[in-house]
Amino acid sequence: MINQEKFNSIKDSVLTKIKSGQIKMIPKWQFVLKAFMVILGIIILGLALLYLASFIIFTLRQSGAWFAPTFGINGIGAFITSLPWLLIIISILFLAFLEILVRKYSFAYRKPILYSLVALIGFVSVISLIIGQVGFHRSAFKFTKEGFIPFARPFYEKFGQMQADGIYFGEISQLKDSGFLMVNRQEKEYEVLFTPETRFPFGEDFAEGDNVVVLGDLNNSLITADGIREVDEGWHRPPMMNMMPPPSIPKMNRY
């Protein structure tokens, strides 16, 4: 049993310290400020995370790697090797900090960490995809190229123009009997060659002016294609504009 007498003086001791001013109450405004800082931290981290996650999607779309998984196992492999791991690690760190801040609130700590993490990841993914559709980073990239937002320029130049191994993104400039000529973002021309093994997950009906992603082996300027697919988004105009009908160019069969 606990010896109650041992604790008899606690109340006196505590009240004496309080009355003598040895112990002081922290004013309410300090707690309000602290709570405000935590909320601000959550907002800033959340926005930073949304920015990074949508930027990762943007870089993958820019390199064409985003579309590679539709080509099967080889495409998935190319997608994984093309991931911007540095940005992903930074995003995971942001997510971890965000989780730590959010778990100060009972709505978060009363549930398993997995739930709040899944909810956070789901929310960030959906909003990032929406940001991608609106063309935020594409416009920002364009602005940095034109000399606006100079502090962001190195960031967009480093990550926005990343090349993915074995994945080529370009616009068809000329159809040929066994393939087509394609011009990439840097105005470099490639010849894309079809083989019997080439996969066309979304059909083979290509036309000049189509934007395509090609998975294959590059030899000089000849790409032997493992897979080819048309993509809706061009790099010359924001994705919202892609909803408008393209100028009518007659579709031609490759044969």
Partner 1 sequence: MTTSEKTDEQIAKMVQDGDLQSFGVLVDRYESKIARYAQRFLFRGDDVKDVVQDVFLKAYTNIQSFNLNRRFSPWIYRIAHNEFINAIKKRGKEPFSIFDVDTIFPHLTVSDESLDKDFDKKTVIEELNNSFKKLDTKHREILTLYYYEEMGYKEIADILEIPISTVGVRILRAKRELKKELEKK
Report the interface residues with partner 1, using CB under 8 A. Answer: 2, 4, 6-7, 10-11, 13-15, 17-19, 23-28, 30-31, 103, 106, 109-115
With respect to partner 1, which residue has the nearer C-beta, 112 or 196? 112
Min dist CB 85 to partner 1, Å, is 24
Tell me the C-alpha distance between 180 and 108, whole Å. Answer: 54
* Partner residues linked to 218 by β-bridges: 223
Min dist CB 30 to partner 1, Å, is 8
Min dist CB 152 to partner 1, Å, is 36
Min dist CB 80 to partner 1, Å, is 25
With respect to partner 1, which residue has the nearer C-beta, 19 or 151? 19
Tell me the C-alpha distance between 168 and 235, whole Å. Answer: 13
C-alpha dihedral sign at 232, 238, 239, 241: negative
- Chain centroid offset of residue 51 CA: 8
With respect to partner 1, which residue has the nearer C-beta, 17 or 251? 17
Q: What is the secondary structure of 67-112 as a DSSP string? A: GGGGG-HHHHHHHHHHS-HHHHHHHHHHHHHHHHHHTTSHHHHTS-
With respect to partner 1, which residue has the nearer C-beta, 110 or 237? 110
